[in-house]
Amino acid sequence: MTKGYWVSVYPATTDPEALTAYDELAGLAVQAGGGRVLSLIPTRGGRLVAHEAGTTQRVVLIEFDSFEQAVAAYESEIYQQALVALPDGFERDFRIIEGID
């Protein structure tokens, strides 16, 4: 079974503090769905170098044991509540991708 990943990039973040409610609910959904946060930049430190059309804004990478588990976590009731908590004005590129192995 191949792993699944949530990849989320926020090209335009005007007020990172406004994401607090979303972060709390999304964190619960990830934990309940068996996900592991691999990278959360810049919130938890870490380095980021952007190339080409990339930005240096917030990037989140979360790993799940399977692609299906990643999709189920996104579709869960608690994550849907987290989406409602996303404030207006946040542009986000969110993808669920399947790992190679």
- According to the model, what pLDDT value does residue 50 have? 80
- According to the model, what pLDDT value does residue 90 have? 77
Distance CA 50, CA 55 (A): 6
Distance CA 42, CA 7 (A): 15
Residue 100 tokens read as 């190679």
- According to the model, what pLDDT value does residue 44 have? 62
- According to the model, what pLDDT value does residue 65 have? 97
Instruction: Give yes or no for a contact between 85 and 21, defined as CB atoms under 8 angstroms apart.
Output: yes
CATH number at residue 75: 3.30.70.100
Asked if omega into 11 is within 30° of 0 (cis), the reply is no
Query: How many structural domains does the chain have?
Result: 1
What is the reported pTM? 0.87
pLDDT tens across the length of the chain (101 residues): 899 999 998 877 677 777 888 889 999 999 999 999 998 887 666 778 888 877 777 889 999 999 999 999 999 999 999 999 888 777 889 999 999 97
Backbone dihedral region of 23: left (phi > 0), alpha (psi from -120 to 50 degrees) or beta? alpha
- According to the model, what pLDDT value does residue 83 have? 92
Query: Helix 67-75 and helix 20-32: axis angle, to 10°?
Result: 130
* Angstrom distances, CA of residue 37 to CA of 14, 17, 52, 91: 23, 19, 25, 21
Q: Which domain holds residue 10?
A: 4-98
